[in-house]
Chains A and B, each alone.
Chain A
Amino acid sequence: MTYLVCYSPHKDDIGAIDLACQFARSEHDTVHALTVVPRGWETAVAGDTDRDFEQWAAQEGAASAAEALEVLARHTDVVSTATWVAGRSVPQAVCEQVDALGASLIVVGSGENGPRGYVTVTSKTDRMLHSAAVPVAIAPRGYRPVPDSRITRVTMGFRDDDASWTLLDLVASICARIGASLRLVTFAVRPRRMVVSAMRDDESDIFAQWKSQAQAGLDEAVTHLRDQGLVDVEAVLAQGRSWGGAMDSVEWGREDVLVVGSSSTHKLAQVFLGSSAAKILRNSTVPVIVVP
Chain B
Amino acid sequence: MAGTLVAQLLRRKPIVFQHHPHQGEELPRNLTTFQLMMFGVGATVGTGIFFVLGEAVPKAGPAVLISFMIAGFAAGLSALCYAELASAIPVSGSTYSYAYHALGEIVAVIIAGCVLLEYGVATGAVAVGWSGYFNELLHETIGWQLPDALSVSPIPGTDHVPTGGIINLPAVVLVLLCMLLLIRGASESAKINAIMVMIKLTVLALFSVIGFSAFNADHFSNFFAKGFTGVSAAAGTIFFSFIGLDAVATAGEEVKDPQKALPRAIIGALSIVSGIYLAVAGAGLAAKPASFFADKDNADAGLALILKEITGNEVWSTILAAGAVISIFSVTLVTLYGQTRILFAVGRDGLISKKFLEVNQRTMTPTFNTVVVSIVIALIGGFVPADYLWDTVSIGTLMAFSVVAIGIMVLRRTHPELERPFKVPGYPVTPILTVAACLYIMYGLAAITWVIFLIWIVLCIAFYWLYGMRNATLNHYTDPEEIAEPSGRRRDLEDERG
On A, residues with C-beta under 8 Å from B are 159-161, 190-202, 204-210, 213-214, 217, 239, 241, 264, 276
Contact = CB atoms under 8 A, between A and B. Distances in A.
Interface stretch (B6-14, B145-153, B245-253, B441-449): B245-253
Given A195-B187, A195-B189, A196-B244, 14 more contacts: A193-B27, A197-B250, A197-B337, A198-B94, A198-B342, A204-B486, A205-B341, A205-B348, A206-B341, A207-B486, A217-B361, A241-B24, A241-B25, A264-B362
Contact of A209 (B39, B337, B348): B348
Contacts of A204: 26, 92, 486-487
Contacts of B250: 197-200
Contacts of A160: 361
A190 B27 CA distance: 10
Given A159-B362, A161-B361, A210-B361, A196 B188 contact: yes
Contacts of A161: 361-362
B344 A205 contact: yes
Nearest to B253: A200
A223 to B, nearest CB: 18
B27 A199 contact: no
B185 interface: yes
Contact of B93 (A159, A192, A200): A200
B93 A239 contact: no
B247 A198 contact: yes
A205 B344 CA distance: 8
Contacts of B26: 204
29 contacts: A159-B362, A161-B361, A190-B25, A192-B187, A192-B189, A193-B27, A195-B188, A195-B192, A196-B188, A196-B244, A197-B250, A198-B246, A198-B247, A200-B86, A200-B92, A200-B93, A200-B253, A201-B92, A201-B487, A202-B341, A204-B487, A205-B92, A205-B344, A205-B345, A206-B365, A206-B366, A209-B366, A239-B22, A264-B362
A64 to B, nearest CB: 42
Contact of B39 (A159, A192, A196): A196
Contacts of A159: 361-362
A208 B359 CA distance: 10
A207 B364 contact: yes
Nearest to A217: B361
Contacts of A207: 364, 486
A160 B348 CA distance: 21
A239 B25 contact: yes
Contacts of B187: 191-195
B358 interface: yes
A115 B488 CA distance: 38
* Most chain A Cβ neighbours within 10 Å, of B92, B342, B488: B92
B193 A195 contact: yes
Given A190-B25, A204-B92, A206-B364, A198 B359 contact: no
A136 B91 CA distance: 46
Contacts of B18: 208
Contacts of B396: none
Interface bracket on B: 35 or more
Contacts of B422: none
B117 to A, nearest CB: 13
B193 A196 contact: yes
Nearest to A276: B362
Given A198-B246, A200-B86, A191 B334 contact: no
Contact of B43 (A196, A202, A214, A241): A196
B190 interface: yes
Nearest to B363: A191
Contact of B42 (A194, A196, A201): A196
* Most chain A Cβ neighbours within 10 Å, of B185, B187, B342: B187
B338 interface: yes
Interface in B351-367: 357-359, 361-362, 364-366
Contacts of B334: 194, 196-197
Nearest to B185: A191
Nearest to A245: B24
Contacts of A208: 18, 486-487
Nearest to B334: A196
A221 to B, nearest CB: 12
Given A200-B92, A208-B486, A191 B337 contact: no
B113 to A, nearest CB: 16
B119 interface: yes
Contact of A199 (B185, B192, B345): B345
Q: Which 8 A-B pairs have the closest CB atoms?
A: A201-B92, A208-B486, A204-B487, A198-B338, A200-B250, A210-B359, A202-B341, A204-B486
A185 to B, nearest CB: 14
Contacts of A213: 358-359, 361
B357 A209 contact: yes
Contacts of A214: 361
Contacts of B358: 213
A213 B341 CA distance: 17
Nearest to B330: A196
* Most chain A Cβ neighbours within 10 Å, of B27, B43, B253, B348: B27
Nearest to A158: B361
Contacts of B341: 197-199, 202, 205-206
A199 B43 contact: no
A235 to B, nearest CB: 14
A50 B189 CA distance: 56
A213 B42 CA distance: 35
Contacts of B244: 196, 198
* Most chain B Cβ neighbours within 10 Å, of A201, A209, A241: A201
B245 to A, nearest CB: 11
Interface in B240-261: 244, 246-247, 250-251, 253
Contacts of B362: 159, 161, 264, 276
Given A191-B364, A194-B337, A198-B246, A206 B359 contact: yes
Contacts of B486: 201, 204-205, 207-208
A200 B251 contact: yes
B93 A202 contact: yes
A195 B300 CA distance: 29
Nearest to B254: A200
Contacts of A194: 187-188, 334, 337
A210 B185 CA distance: 13
B364 A210 contact: yes
A209 B366 CA distance: 9
A274 to B, nearest CB: 8
A162 to B, nearest CB: 11
